[in-house]
Structure 1
């Protein structure tokens, strides 16, 4: 049994939205862990390019992690669509570089791969209910394809001895998320209207789509559990992180507008409509509940209030 003080957790993408939430959780609830970021210097962050195999090798050899949580990625679907080759290089080749290095230099480390529900893609169209982890990976966009490819690769490498745990999180949001994502985009616009910096009009894409939304603080609990607890690893250790409940985008916007207490006009913006939009996507997280004792705890209304509060603070600083 590994003692609390011997956990050495390496987090890639630690300075991003999800990485920041994970580091806060580890600091708060797992204070005995030693947490590293790839390329971290003394008192400063200096991220390594995931495509640089030699530097990654040096880092893994030096840090000797007991667990690696791989969050770094080209994470916005629009960024992946605009630069597909870069997305494949980072999301697939970068992941391979990390996994190979862990197998060489820290073979006992758990490799916690954070994939995406976007990997399921067209499987949502045929689903009669929430998808389980057994659903085929049928991505419809570049981002989903890169995450599916890396997911399959890590699954295959686990047959060769990589101690892998794979996650497929569904949509998650929270304070601090970039406004390239829908909830944050709406909340920013509402906050600017509340502060008088914008006319009471919100520009939107497709409001009829339904998605499974979570709070980032719930999502990172699953990653922390995988990094800290001595869980089973291997090809079958793949977990949806989902609420199991589809929420209509229109209802989320209505809830944010209701929290603002203002009359706001909603207008469709063709530039915000996404290609290959899946009408409804939600997941079954029973396996995570049974094996990891994970369930979402933060009420969605609280999540929305916290995201709106964040953007109101941002708006007041501008």
Structure 2
């Protein structure tokens, strides 16, 4: 990519997986990048945030967000902060509604107020989730597939998605949504099943644990690479007119396949010897299969994944092995395959 003219981007949740990949992309493109982190955040991944200005902001703080808009005057806003765990959303339904739903209302209201003061608001990206589709009769899902959310997390993402579209249509804001299917990397949090698998496999390979306990192995998801999805976010805000896109690979793989690839990456052919299923880890309502149709993104954004399923999982396993061997948990060298 060629460098942009001087532009400013505000990235909420900049210390998360997606925030890091996006911020580094934007810095490489010549942007000034300002990113928000939680006031109570511990162990912020500073190793990945070279060239990024960080500001403490609680996601639900409307006045704080409005003040930040005025002080930063961004050209683009990427809202990547929020509650990200589907499973944990059942235990924290009120928090996820506040963080993923009402917080977005407040941000959109502040963008409207900003436009009234300055004549134009920054372009705004809202990440939607494939979990919104829930129990869908349509495979693969497209931009027009109805939502049937099956968790508090999914319901709040659907709410925010429709709000973002409505504020675009009602107030003329440049707001775009990207419905992101599962996207992984070595920066995935340990609470997510893919990272739980790759870290555990690395520990098993190094003789530091004996088994891995999981819930439903039959679920299928469309798994991509987080850096590819960050690139799609940026492309959406470069269009002449705001639109909504599905960002996916177009293929689903069973969770059991993640296990097979992960164990094979450390030379173990039979994963079943190390895996135990625990019914208590099953969700109250699970979605069996989701995969998206990325045709619109391919045709209108020129976007396509650069890493395949096997490459992603192998990269995550090899990185976790290196973390355990070296004792270095975070370094930019882990972001992409060697």
Contact 1:117 1:170 in 2 (8 A): yes
Q: Given the alignment, which residue of 119, 133, 143 partners 2:132?
A: 119
Contact 1:151/1:166 (8 A) holds in 2: yes
**1:40-55 correspondence runs (5 A):** 45-55=54-64
Aligned-pair CA distance for 1:304: 1.1
Which of 191, 194, 202 is residue 180 of structure 1 equivalent to?
191
Per mean C-alpha deviation after superposition, the further-off stretch among 76-85 and 247-256 is 76-85
* Aligned counterparts of 2:324 and 2:94: Cα–Cα separation in 1: 35
- For 2:20, the equivalent position in structure 1 comes to 20
Cα–Cα, structure 1 residues 14 and 134, in superposed 2: closer, same or farther, change >3 Å? same
Point out 4+ residue stretches in structure 1 off by more than 6 angstroms: 39-44
Are 1:77 and 2:86 an aligned pair? Answer: yes
SS in 2 for 1:279: coil
Aligned partner of 1:240 in structure 2 is 246
1:253 aligns with 2:266: no
Say whether the 8 Å CA contact 1:102–1:109 is kept in structure 2.
Answer: yes
TM-score between the two structures when normalised by the length of structure 1: 0.91
Q: What residue ranges of structure 2 are gaps of 5+ in the alignment?
A: 40-50, 329-338
SS in 1 for 2:148: coil
Q: Deviations over 1:158-210 (max 9, x none)?
A: 112221111100011011111221211110110001111101x2222111111
Change (3 A) 1:134 1:116: same
For structure 1, the 5+ residue unaligned runs are none
The residue that corresponds to 2:301 in the other structure is: 292
Structure-2 change in CA distance of 1:73 and 1:252 (3 Å): same
* 3-state SS, counterpart of residue 305 of structure 1: helix
Kept in 2, the 8 Å contact 1:71–1:113? The answer is yes
The 2-side partners of 1:289 and 1:313 are apart by 35
Matches of 1:141 and 1:311 in 2, distance apart?
Answer: 30
Q: Distance in 1 between matches of 2:320 and 2:162?
A: 37
Q: How many residues align?
A: 306
Shift of 1:211: 0.8
Task: State how 1:154-193 maps to structure 2 within 5 Å.
Answer: 154-159=164-169, 160-193=171-204
CA-based RMSD = 2.1
Q: CA deviation at 1:40?
A: 10
> Which aligned pairs between 1:133-172 and structure 2 lie closer than 5 A?
133-159=143-169, 160-172=171-183
The separation in 2 between residues aligned to 1:138 and 1:147, in whole angstroms, is: 11
Q: Which residue number corresponds to residue 4 of structure 1?
A: 4
SS in structure 2 at match of 1:280: coil
* Distance apart, 1:239 and its partner CA: 0.7
2:181 and 2:224 in contact (8 A); partners too? yes
Structure 2 match to 1:276: 285
Deviations 1:251-275 (A, max 9, x none): 1111111111135412212232222
Listed one character per residue, the Cα deviations across residues 280-315 of structure 1 (whole Å, up to 9, x for unaligned) are 111111111111111111122221121112211332
1:39–1:16 Cα change, 3 Å: closer
- Between the aligned partners of 2:241 and 2:219, the Cα distance in structure 1 is 36
Does the Cα contact within 8 Å between 2:218 and 2:254 map onto a contact in 1?
A: yes
Alignment map for 1:202-241 (pairs within 5 Å): 202-227=212-237, 229-233=238-242, 237-241=243-247
1:224-255: CA deviations, max 9, x gaps? 2224x24311xxx1111011101011111111
1:304 partnered with 2:302: no
What is the DSSP-based 3-state SS (H/G/I as helix, E as strand, rest coil) of the residue aligned with 1:138? Answer: coil
Residue in structure 1 matched with residue 35 of structure 2 by the alignment: 37
- The answer to whether the 8 Å contact 1:13/1:70 transfers is yes
Separation in 1, partners of 2:236, 2:143 = 17
Give me the whole-angstrom Cα distance separating, in 1, the residues matched to 2:285 and 2:205: 33
TM-score, structure 2 as length reference: 0.85
